[in-house]
Amino acid sequence: MDGVDLTDLDRFADGFPHGVFDRLRRERPVWWHEPTANTPDGEGFWVVSRYTEVMAAATDAATYSSEGGGGRAGGGTIIEDLPAGFAVGVLLNMTDDPRHARFRRLLAPSVAPGTLRLLEAELTERAGRIIDDALAKGECDFLLDLAAELPLQAVARLLGVPQEDRHRLLGWANATLDYDGRELGEATERSRAAAAEMFAYGSDLLARKRDDPGDDLLSVAAHATLDGAPLSDLEQQMLFNLLVAAGSETTRNSIALGMQALIDHPASWNTLRNDRSALGAAVEEMLRWASSTPYNRRTATRDTVLGGQDVRAGDKVTLWWASANRDAALFPRPHLFDITRRPNPHLAFGRGGHFCLGATLARLEMRVVFSALLDRVASVEPTGPLEYTRSNKHTGVRHMPVRLVPA
């Protein structure tokens, strides 16, 4: 695997490098990635690319920790070590059971299927207005004007953020998640300013929720107790940051890349226009296809063997969901976009105890957006190239210029 550097973000500037991972699955499904000039911490890490081994690690949280292990001072779920007590062990997705499971239980009722069914009519109405506004423009940026809007409005609604502030959330998420003008482990003036502004906004919002709670997720967090004590101010703030990013970023990219797949496969678009019963399976295929979170890291807590390789306690282990979702052993003709694909056991939401808490909401948002599109739009025609974000952690879209042809 000479020349393969998964910490060189330029390799991801045109989307996920599926060709590299086809070779990894075939030749080195569990591969030790030596450090390069681009690798944060100057440490190597394991790259797990095949479905079987990804599943094995994802469902063994005792051996593969989201916090740390093996005497490592830091840890977390990205390649570079984050400090314990700041993100690690505090941020929901960087905690282990039993605290992680208890933390999730506090939030789960707010995004449970029954709760979201009550929200579906509102989201459907919002989606219709969003698409009508885009149609009035004729030419628009599908990412900004369409794909991002419903997830933004929904996350603002669920967090108790005023709708007029939602685009501030988008700006902060973009600045902190897109490695535009910087490398892994680096910050720029723009990313630092965005993080500071988001922290200040979240602190003020949480203070108001403590004094005047509503029926939103932040009010739940502001008044919840965990293990007999309230969540700390830092835990509440980090939860706000996480929900802004997770709620506004991943779904918009799945919608945008799902639409791009339908543009590239017009027969599938026409099938959906004529038969909405196929939309549920189509959404699952879009999620597999987009795989908007390419990987998550774990840390080995003990010496073990994975895919025939000796993994040592403290080793960084990266699980590449986007690669597992193109594994031919599970997905016949994996590089074919097939809206009739069944079964479709994709890992777009992860697996195990860290399965995405917002999966039901993401699926609902995608269904209502595409249903409204199919009702109102005859075709979506590109007017310029799709521009990807520069990141190995988020397969995202910056811009997607299109023309909408009314139905």
**CA angle, residues 289, 290, 296, in degrees to nearest 5:** 110
Residue 3 resides in a domain: no
Q: What is the pLDDT of residue 289?
A: 98
Which of these, 4, 26, 388, lies nearest to 174 by C-alpha position? 388
Average pLDDT over residues 224-241: 93
Average pLDDT over residues 303-327: 98
The burial of 136, by beta-carbon neighbours within 10 Å (0-12 exposed, 13-18 middle, 19 or more buried), is given as exposed
Q: What is the dihedral of CA 83, 88, 94, 95, to 10 degrees?
A: 160
Residue 4 resides in a domain: no
Q: What is the pLDDT of residue 235?
A: 93
SS3 350: coil
The CATH number of whichever domain residue 246 belongs to comes to 1.10.630.10
CA gap 247, 224 in Å, rounded: 21
DSSP code for 393: S
The 3-state secondary structure of 364-380 reads: HHHHHHHHHHHHHEEEE
Average pLDDT over residues 185-194: 91
What is the domain extent for residue 324? 9-406
Average pLDDT over residues 292-309: 98
Inter-CA distances, 328 with 58, 76, 178, Å: 19, 30, 30
Average pLDDT over residues 140-157: 96
Which of these, 370, 354, 299, lies nearest to 321 by C-alpha position? 354
Residue 2 resides in a domain: no
CA gap 286, 277 in Å, rounded: 15
Q: What is the pLDDT of residue 255?
A: 98
Q: What is the pLDDT of residue 177?
A: 85
Residue 172 resides in a domain: yes
Residue 107: count of CB within 10 angstroms of its CB: 18
Confidence of residue 181 (pLDDT cuts 50, 70, 90): confident
Residue 1 resides in a domain: no
Residue 166 resides in a domain: yes
Confidence of residue 346 (pLDDT cuts 50, 70, 90): very high
| pLDDT tens, residue by residue, 58-96 | 999 999 999 999 999 999 999 999 999 989 999 999 999
| pLDDT tens, residue by residue, 23-66 | 999 999 999 999 999 999 999 999 999 999 999 999 999 999 99
* Overall number of domains in the chain: 1
CA gap 265, 367 in Å, rounded: 18
Res 182 pLDDT > 90? no
Q: What is the pLDDT of residue 90?
A: 93
Residue 238 resides in a domain: yes
Residue 107 resides in a domain: yes
Inter-CA distances, 193 with 3, 380, 393, Å: 35, 36, 21
Output the pTM of the full model.
Answer: 0.96
Q: What percent of the chain has pLDDT over 70?
A: 100
